[in-house]
Structure 1
Amino acid sequence: MSDEPEDQSGDESSRQFARLEVGISARLDTLSGRQSVRLVNLSQGGAQLILSVPDEAGEGMLTWLDFEMFGELAWQKGDRVGLTFDEPLAPLCLAETRRRAPSVVLDEAMGASFTKAWVSGEIGDD
């Protein structure tokens, strides 16, 4: 495992699979436990995540939407990690993630706005 992320320059020519920018909540289950993560991007070969607890991630099961894949830690830099899947993600799973991710991002943003307004007292029980 390398401490440095793979090339972040955006040069897709050296990658085996193209990446899909996602930005949705997900879950990572490892031997250390379960934690919420942000799924930054996804490809048939792996995923980039932001950990909610920046511990050593190790291998584990990544779960998002209605999908899950087992992956091994390829690199870690602080709270950002790259997972390499043990087998390629099915193209239909990638397509379904692409279709559903925008509405999930919107739902998460609306939920956060509602929570902020409720906590600040802008809305509430009258």
Structure 2
Amino acid sequence: MGVGSRGCDTARAEPRMAVALAAELRTESGSTSCRLVDLSRGGACLEIDSPVLRGREIVLHRGAMQAKGVVVWLRGGRCGVRFDKPIRATDLLVQISQSRKSQPRAVSGGANSLSPSS
């Protein structure tokens, strides 16, 4: 399996969409906050602070989305999760939309931009 530029595994059945969203990762031993780095209908790459074991069954929660799966790889504070069954396409689109709304937008120069006075 290859590793992409973001440190996430690149060998997968479906393309993943880059996101930047807070989520919750639950295991049989408890729950921890995490950050969704990328997401597809079949899995996700997560940034995690608390270690989780490869092969561990998990439930990923983000808003109304809930996905059961298994940790398939670990690397440098990130893990890859394969979902037991694909999430609904509408759930995927909602998460992508929310991620884009939370990203700061660049301000371009124009008539209303501030410029230093001489």
TM-score band (shorter)?
A: 0.7 to 0.9
CA contact (8 A) 1:54 1:78 kept: no
Q: Return the match for 1:28 from 5, 25, 28.
A: 25
Aligned to 1:88: 86
Aligned to 1:40: 37
CA contact (8 A) 2:23 2:60 kept: yes
Which sections of structure 2, spanning at least 5 residues, go unmatched? 105-118
**What is the RMSD of the two structures over their aligned residues, measured on CA atoms?**
2.0
Counterpart Cα distance in 1 of 2:94 and 2:41: 13
Is 1:7 equivalent to 2:5 in the alignment? no
2:34 maps to a residue whose letter is V
Counterpart Cα distance in 2 of 1:16 and 1:69: 17
Counterpart Cα distance in 2 of 1:20 and 1:80: 16
How far does the alpha carbon of each residue in 1:74-119 deviate from its partner, in whole angstroms, 9 at most, with x for none? Answer: 111242110000001111111111111122455xxxxxxxxxxxxx
Q: Return the match for 1:61 from 50, 55, 59.
A: 59
1:8 maps to a residue whose letter is V
Counterpart Cα distance in 2 of 1:77 and 1:14: 15
Identical aligned residues as a percent: 30
Aligned to 1:76: 74
The ranges of structure 1 where at least 4 consecutive aligned residues each deviate by more than 3 angstroms after the TM superposition are none
Counterpart Cα distance in 2 of 1:15 and 1:61: 20
Aligned to 1:18: 15
Which sections of structure 1, spanning at least 5 residues, go unmatched? 1-5, 107-126
Offset at residue 14 of structure 1 (A): 5.4
Q: Which has the larger radius of gyration?
A: 2
Offset at residue 55 of structure 1 (A): 3.8
Counterpart Cα distance in 2 of 1:22 and 1:65: 14
Counterpart Cα distance in 1 of 2:65 and 2:45: 16
